[in-house]
Amino acid sequence: MIKTHTLGFPRIGENRELKFALEDYWRGDASEESLQATASTLRLKHWKAQIDSGLDFITVGDFSFYDQMADHIQLLGCEPQRFAFANEQAPLQRYFTMVRGKAENHGGCNHAHGSSAHGLHPQETHALEMTKWFDTNYHYMVPEFNASTQFKAHAGNLLAQLEQAKTLNHPVKVSLIGPLTFLFLGKSKQAGFDQLDLLDQLLPVYGQILSTLKLQGVEWVQLDEPILGLDLPGPWLAAYERSYLQLKTSGVKILLATYFSSTQGHTSIACKLPVDGLHVDCVRAEEDLPLIIDWLPNYKVLSLGIVDGRNIWKTDLNPALQHILKAFDAGKGEVWIAPSCSLLHVPYRFSNDTRVNLQVLPWLAGAIEKLEEIELLKQAAKNQLQGKSLTGALANIWNTHQDLVKQRRNSPLLNNPEVKARISSIAPTADQRHSEFAVRQQLQRERFNLPAYPTTTIGSFPQTRNIRNLRARFRTGEIDEATYWQHISQEIRQAIDFQERIGLDVLVHGEAERNDMVEYFGEQLEGFTFSANGWVQSYGSRCVKPPILFGDVARPKPMTVDVAAFAQSLSEKPVKGMLTGPVTILQWSFVRNDQARATTALQIAYAIRDEVADLEQAGIGMIQIDEPAYREGLPLRKARWNDYLEWASKAFRISASPVRDDTQIHTHMCYSEFNDILPAIAAMDADVITIETSRSDMELLRGFGEFDYPNEIGPGVYDIHSPRVPKQAEIVRLIRKAAQVIPPENLWVNPDCGLKTRGWEETEAALTVMVKATEQLRCEL
Ligand code: GLN
Ligand code: ZN
C-alpha cells in the first residue's frame, strides 16, 4: 500500500494573509473574530489544496498564530509562572503575551532575538526567548522549565481545528511535536535543574491528548522528533523507548518523524521504537535509507521524505521513484510519500510569480508544486508495482517535469566557465593577507591614528519612512535613477554630518540604499534571481523572501564603490566600506543543489573579493564584510563542523585578502554563541570583529579572552533591539568588564548591531551616551 501526506504546510498564506491579519489585530485595527476568521479560511484553503493534489491525509496541528512550540506550551499547560496569568484571562491573550512580551504603555514588543531581561520597567514582561529552529531560518519560542513546572492538557484549540478539518470529509492526520523534542528544545531556568526530569510528568499529558484524539476518530498522529538528528546526550536517547512505550497505550497510531539530518548512531533506536511508522528525511539523510529499510520492521509504515522541504528546486523524480520501489522490494508493506520536512520552510507556490527570471521559473517548486510532485510519484510507483508505466495525461506531466529537471541540469544559464576556472585554480596564497596580524596592526595604527577605544557603528542607520518611500518610488519608476541617487546622497550626507557631530571615530555611510543586506548584493550579481511573492515565515508575522541563487556567481561591475567613495569624500575620518560576506549571502538564499555549498560560497567569495579590491583602489581604508550567518551555517552534527568551518573561513579570507597590509578589514557577527567556534573565528583573520554582546552582559567575550583571541574586537555595548537609551554608567561598566578580558588596546566601542530598525531620536541619544562613556574611560587611561 502506498499513501501520501505532508508533515506540515506553510500557514502564513499565499499572500501573507495571516501576517496582515495578525498585525491589524495587534495594532487594534481588527477584532479577534476577524483574526479567527482569517485563520479559519486559511486552514480550510490549505487543507483543500492538500485534498486537491490528491494527498491521502490532510494534516491538522501545523497551524499556528505565531509558532508551533508556543502552541505546545499552551497545549501542554506549561506557560511559565513568571507571566502570572490570571485564570480568567483568555488563552489567546495569554498566548500573545508569551510570544510578544508586554510593556506597560506600548502594546507589545516584538524583537527578532528575544527581549532583554535587563533594564525592564517593573510592569514589563519580556517575551519568551526566541531561537533558530535547527539549521533553518525559522525561529521558535523557547519553553522555560524549572522544578515547579507542571503540565496539564489544554487540547481545546487543537480539537477545534480537528473539528474544522473533519467538515472536509477526508482522512486526517494530526501532527504534534514529540515529548522529547519539546523538552529538549526548552531551557532550564533553574541552575542545576535538568528538564529531562520533567519527562515522567509530561508523558501522561501527551498520553491523555493522544487518547482524546483517538476518541475523536483520529487514526494517525505524527510526532516530530527531529532531535534524533542531533548528537543527543545518552540519557535523552535512553528515554526514547520508555516514552514511546507509554504513549503506545493511547491506542492511536504514531508516526515518528525525523528530519533535517542523519539519525546516524540513533538509527537503530528510531527503527525499534514501539511506534507504527517512521518518517525519514531522504534529502538530508539519504545515506540512512539503506539501513532504515533494513532495520525497520516490514509491518511498520515507512514514510519517505523524498521531496525537498528545505529548497525550491523541482524534484528529479526518477531517483525518488527508485527509493520508493527499493522499499517495496525489501518487503515493506506500507510506504508513505512526503516532503522531507514540513513545507513551512518553502514559499506557498511559484507558478504565478511575476518576478522570477522566466528561464528559472519553470525549475522551481513551492509547497503547492511539491504536493503535485508527491502525487505524481505515488501514481508512478503504483503503476510500477503493477508492472505498468504511466500513460496518458500523467505520463505527459511526468515527462514535462523531467524535461525541465534535465533542462536545468544542462542549462548554459548555470555555467560561467570563467567563474569555474577561477575556482578550480585558487592560488595557495589567495586566502592569505601579505603579513601577519601584528605587522598589519602596526601599519594600520600608523595610518589611522585612532584614539584608544575607537568608536564606530555596525553600518545601517534608521530606515525612515522617507527612505523606504524613496526606494519604492524608484522601483515603480515614479522617480528616475538620477533623482533617486540624489536623494540617497542627501541621506548619506546627513548620516556623515550626524556622525561627525556626535563625535564617532570611524564612520559608515548608513546603508540607506539597501533594503536588505543580501538582496542588495544578489540583485547586482549574476547567478541570482528574485521572486515577487516567495515569502517564508521567519518568526511570528515576520517573513523573508530569500534570493534564489541558481547559477555561477559573477560580479559584472562594482556594487558599492560609488557610494563608499562619495561617503568618504565627505569626511576626513575613515568611512568603512560595507559589504555582506559570502557565507551570509549563501546562508540566507535558496541555493543551487547541483553543486556543493562550499563551491558556491567560494564563487560568492570571489565576487566580494573583487569588490574589496575595487574599494581599496577607490581609497577606502577600512572595509567591513558582515558575516552574521557564519555560525548558523554549522551542520547539526558536530562531526561535520570542521569541514564546514574550514571552507567557510576560507571563503571569508578569499573575499578579504586582496588588500594591502594597511587596509583594515572588519567583520561583524550578531546573535551568536562564539565560544565553541573561536578557532574558526580567529582563522577568518579579520583585523577587527564587532559582535553582539551587551545582552550577555559581556559574558560572551570571556571566551575570546580565554582563547587569547589575537585581533581587535568591538563588543556591542548596548542592545539595539529595544528603543531604550542606555545610561552612561551601564556602558562604562560593560567596557570596563570587556577590558578585564581583552587587552584594552585591542578594544573598540560600538552598538550590538545595525541601527536600521531604530528611530533617529533614540539613535542619537544612545550613540551620544556611548561616545560620552568612551570619553570618560579615555580620561582614566
Ligand atoms: N551592516 C549591517 C547593518 O548594520 C549588519 C546587519 C546584521 O548584522 N544583521 O545593518
Ligand atoms: Zn548584526
- pLDDT in the model for residue 106: 44
Helices (H) and strands (E) in the chain, counts: 26, 22
Q: Using a 6 Å cutoff on CB, does residue 756 contact ligand 1?
A: yes
Question: What is the number of the ligand 1 atom nearest to the C-alpha of 459?
Answer: 4
The predicted pLDDT at position 672 comes to: 75
In degrees rounded to 5, what are phi and psi of residue 578? -130, 115
Say how far apart CA 217 and CA 204 lie, in whole Å.
Answer: 20
Report the C-alpha gap between 461 and 272 in whole angstroms. Answer: 55
Of 452, 508, 456, 431, the closest CA to residue 685 belongs to: 431
Binding-site residue numbers are 16-19, 132, 137, 458-460, 511, 542-543, 588, 626, 632, 668, 670, 692, 753
Q: Tens digits of per-residue pLDDT, 713-769?
A: 999 999 998 889 999 999 999 999 999 999 999 999 999 999 999 999 999 999 999
Q: Is 495 in the pocket of ligand 1 (CB under 6 A)?
A: no
Residues measured by CB to lie within 5 Å of ligand 2, the ion:
628, 670, 753
Mean pLDDT of 647-659: 98
Which carries the bigger pLDDT value, residue 282 or residue 120? 282
Q: Mean of the pLDDT values across residues 403-430?
A: 95
The pLDDT value given to residue 774: 98
* Smallest-distance ligand from the CA of 588: 1
Confidence (pLDDT) at 113: 40
Contact in structure between 602 and 651 (CB atoms under 8 Å): yes
Task: Tell the residue number behind the cell numbers 535523552, with chain if given.
Answer: 236
Active site residues: 721
Average pLDDT over residues 352-372: 97
Question: Ligand 1 in contact with 509 (CB < 6 A)?
Answer: no
DSSP 459: S
Q: Is the pLDDT of residue 117 over 50?
A: no
The answer for residues whose C-beta is within 8 angstroms of residue 305's C-beta and 6 or more apart is 7, 259, 279, 280, 281, 282, 283, 338, 339, 340, 341
Residue 579 and residue 626 in contact, taking contact as beta carbons nearer than 8 Å: yes
Q: Does position 111 have pLDDT exceeding 80, yes or no?
A: no
Q: How far is the CA of 112 from the centre of ligand 2 (A)?
A: 11
Give the ligand at the shortest distance from the Cα of 515. Answer: 1
Using the structure block, give the residue that is written with the C-alpha cell 577587527: 688
Does ligand 1 have an atom closer than 6 angstroms to the CB of 753? yes
What's the pLDDT at 565?
98
Within 10 Å of residue 745's Cβ, how many Cβ atoms?
Answer: 12
What is the DSSP code (8-state) at residue 359? T
Percent of the chain with pLDDT over 70: 97
What is the residue-wise DSSP string for 79-122? Answer: --GGG---TTS-HHHHHHHHHH-B-SSSS----BTB--SSS--T
458 alpha carbon – ligand 2 mean position (Å): 7
Task: Taking the CA atoms of 708, 713, 718 and 719 in sequence, report the sign of the dihedral they define.
Answer: negative
Of 341, 373, 330, which is closest to residue 257 (Cα–Cα)? 341
**Is 579's C-beta closer than 6 angstroms to any atom of ligand 1?**
no
**Could you give the count of Cα atoms lying within 13 Å of 272 in the half-sphere of its Cβ?**
9
What pLDDT is recorded for position 44? 98
Please check the confidence at residue 78 and state whether its pLDDT lies above 60.
yes
Query: What is the predicted pLDDT for the residue at 331?
Result: 95
Query: Is 70 exceeded by the pLDDT of residue 71?
Result: yes
Q: Is the pLDDT of residue 314 over 80?
A: yes
pLDDT value of residue 721: 86
518 lines ligand 1 (CB under 6 A): no
pLDDT band at 125, cuts 50/70/90? confident
Find out whether the beta carbon of 670 lies less than 6 Å from any atom of ligand 1.
yes
For residue 667, the model assigns a pLDDT of 98
Q: Which is nearest to 611 in space by CA: 657, 664, 547, 550?
A: 657
| % of the chain at pLDDT higher than 90 | 93
* pLDDT at res. 673: 83
Range from 3-12, 114-123, 232-241, 695-704 carrying the lowest mean pLDDT = 114-123
Kindly give the distance from the C-alpha atom of residue 666 to the centroid of ligand 1, in angstroms, as a whole number.
Answer: 12
User: How far away, in angstroms, is 245 Cα from ligand 1 center?
Assistant: 48
Instruction: Report the nearest-CA residue for atom 9 of ligand 1.
Output: 628
CA–centroid distance, residue 112 to ligand 1 (Å): 13
Among 460, 509, 630, 693, the mutation site with the greatest number of ligand 1 atoms within 8 A of its Cβ is: 460
Alpha helices in 101-252 (DSSP H): 156-166, 179-185, 199-215, 234-248
Amino acid letter at 612? V
Task: Name the band, by pLDDT with cuts 50, 70 and 90, for residue 123.
Answer: low
Is a pLDDT exceeding 70 seen at residue 112?
Answer: no
Residue 778: predicted pLDDT: 96
Q: How many CA atoms lie within 13 A of 35 on its CB side?
A: 21
Question: What average pLDDT does this structure show over 453-480?
Answer: 96
Measured CA to CA, the distance from residue 326 to residue 328 in angstroms comes to 5
**Please, which residues have CB within 8 angstroms of residue 765's CB and are 6 or more apart in sequence?**
725
Which residue has the CA at smallest separation from atom 3 of ligand 1?
754
What is the rounded average pLDDT for all residues in the chain?
95
Alpha helices for 362-507 (secondary structure H):
367-385, 392-410, 417-424, 437-448, 465-475, 481-502
The model's confidence at residue 104, banded by pLDDT at 50, 70 and 90, is low
CA distances 373 to 370, 509, 653, Å, are 5, 47, 41
Tell me: ipTM over 0.90.
Answer: yes
Q: Whose CA is nearest to atom 5 of ligand 1?
A: 754
- CA nearest neighbour of 274 among 294, 291, 293, 299: 299
For ligand 1, atom 6, the nearest C-alpha belongs to 754
pLDDT, residue 102, reads 84
Instruction: Report whether residue 597 contacts ligand 1, using a CB cutoff of 6 Å.
Output: no
Which pLDDT band holds residue 253 (cuts at 50, 70, 90)? very high
128 alpha carbon – ligand 1 mean position (Å): 24
**What number of residues does the chain have?**
781
Structure-model confidence comparison of residues 193 and 722, the more confident one: 193
- Residue 173, φ and ψ in degrees, nearest 5: -120, 135
